[in-house]
Chain A
Amino acid sequence: MHVPLIIIGGGLSGLAAALRFARFIPDVLILEQHSRLGGLNSYYYRNKRLFETGLHAITNYAEPKDKKAPLNRLLRQLKIKRTELDLHEQNHSEIRFENRESLRFSNDFSQFCKEIELKFPSSYPGFTELVSLVNAYDPFAPAVFISAKKVIQDKLQNDLLTEMLLCPLMYYGSSVENDMDLGQFVIMFRAIFQEGMFRPGGTIKDLLDLLENHYKAYGGEIRTKSSVKQIISENKKVLGVVLESGEEIRCDYMLSTAGSEETFELLGTKSGLKTLPRLGFVETIFEVPPVTKLKKADNNTIIFFNTAAKFNYSSPREAVNFDSGVICMPQNFQNLAPLPYKEIRTTHLASYEHWKKLAEDKPAYELLKDETARHSLSVAEKILGNFAENIVYRDTFTPLTIERFTAKKEGAIYGNPSKIKDGNIGYENLFLAGTDQGFLGIVGAMLSGVSIVNQHILPRI
């Protein structure tokens, strides 16, 4: 078999890249190792219902008139109408540093500015300077790592506000410990604070089905449960892949969304990228009846919280660091149809090594999972008010769960801390998209796929 383009990975970046290409040249093949599409943003069935993985909220909300906004550019590129997505904006979210300060934000950025002016008056002039910097900055121009933390601190002269601004941006997309690259900060600041958050009316499955249907309508092909064993290459040019089944498929171009180190392993070589710690996470879903009232939460969509004296976004020494995290309530978006359940999802930083050590000892692993869920519950109750007695179902994902289902090394959802921004990994016809190219979130991942196809493949084929 021979196709013009093979895409490794049926996550959102791979699907978007495939759809973009198939609009013009239909013979694309997506190879997905799992039985379902979506990668990090997928779903599973338990307790007679569908559970989403990954998706809390989609960042980069934009009004239809704002044509240059990432969301609208993406939809245009994929020829998907906004109405097909059924967008619901967030109610409002919050950054809460317990017993110190809280900042509320929504999709109206001016409200967030007012909140900062009110609560951090002496830092406000610096904050407006920071916003001007964000507005003028080109995050896509090649640049060396600039510490966003230093730049923000320098403008705001306030440790607490600096940490509070970084907290949601780190949790929603930083693969680097306790800092971010300035370019990445600018992308995330725009995506979360200036643009805002939304979700589709249905589930992630509806979004994946929509993409799959458009793609198949153009004539594209998807093979699930098709793990790539090896990429065949010759003199920095790839010829095709060998699947686990032994089948060989040849191609003219290849796009890998498997991650940089993972892709080099398939090539039988090493990336040579600096080895930095990868960040792991645990997430617990608590399902409660829809009538459950949360005393301290008032319909928040997301709460980014920290209870420690210093916000520490790094790989923990223990299995999980419960001091900070994210609490998401996916039903708290505007005008969603009522659901027969309510979810409270908590996320914390976790140590892959800790969980990996227990992989062979099933009872100990399950015990740690159970302790993690209980501990996370007690943290969430301090922030939201009590709901333990209402829980009808509970499930926890560990870094091992994520590694198993997404093939992300060490279950690090944000991938390798060293990013390859232009997708060029030194091969004539093999390019990288997705997490390790540096665009994160659902809109970011999809734009990543589209832009690599536009930049490297469509003009040459």
Chain B
Amino acid sequence: MTRDAIKDLILEIIEDIDEDADFDTLESDKPLRDQLDLDSMDFLDIVMELRKRHKLQIPEEDYPELATLDSCVNYLDPLLKDA
């Protein structure tokens, strides 16, 4: 999976959580949570969707790696390179 494809995957998952999420003003290096009105409960959905769709097991201590869109891509890039 390319870095752009990973980015699209994350945005698709977020859109699935909140169909009104506004991506136009989203800054990829700023925390997703602050920009998109996601709470910690919603955040878990991202982790679980990645597991469901790509069999990825993300350990709890790695959750902070998913804070921004950029950090998501950086973290997932090696894990999804063969996906």
Using a CB–CB cutoff of 8 Å, the interface residues on chain A facing chain B are 23-24, 67-68, 73, 76-77, 450-451, 454, 458-460
CA of A450 to CA of B40, assembled, Å: 12
Q: What residues on B are CB-neighbors of A77 within 8 Å?
A: 41-42, 45
Q: Is the CB of A454 within 8 A of B41?
A: yes
The minimal Cβ–Cβ distance linking A447 to chain B, given in whole angstroms, is: 9
Q: Is the CB of A459 within 8 A of B60?
A: yes
Q: What residues on A are CB-neighbors of B49 within 8 Å?
A: 24
CA of A143 to CA of B45, assembled, Å: 28
Using a CB–CB cutoff of 8 Å, the interface residues on chain B facing chain A are 17-18, 37, 39, 41-42, 44-45, 47-49, 51-52, 60, 63
Q: Is the CB of A67 within 8 A of B18?
A: yes
Q: Is the CB of A451 within 8 A of B41?
A: yes
Q: What residues on B are CB-neighbors of A450 within 8 Å?
A: 41
Q: Is the CB of A459 within 8 A of B44?
A: yes
The minimal Cβ–Cβ distance linking A350 to chain B, given in whole angstroms, is: 37
Contact of A68 among B39, B44, B45 (CB under 8 A): B39
Contact of A24 among B37, B41, B51 (CB under 8 A): B51
Q: Is the CB of A458 within 8 A of B44?
A: yes
Q: Is the CB of B44 within 8 A of A73?
A: no
Closest to A81 in B: B19
The minimal Cβ–Cβ distance linking B16 to chain A, given in whole angstroms, is: 8
Given A67-B18, A76-B17, A76-B18, A458–B41 Cβ distance below 8 Å? no
The minimal Cβ–Cβ distance linking B37 to chain A, given in whole angstroms, is: 5
Q: What residues on B are CB-neighbors of A24 within 8 Å?
A: 48-49, 51-52
Q: Is the CB of B37 within 8 A of A67?
A: yes
The minimal Cβ–Cβ distance linking B20 to chain A, given in whole angstroms, is: 8
Closest to A73 in B: B41
Q: Is the CB of B47 within 8 A of A459?
A: yes
Q: What residues on B are CB-neighbors of A68 within 8 Å?
A: 37, 39
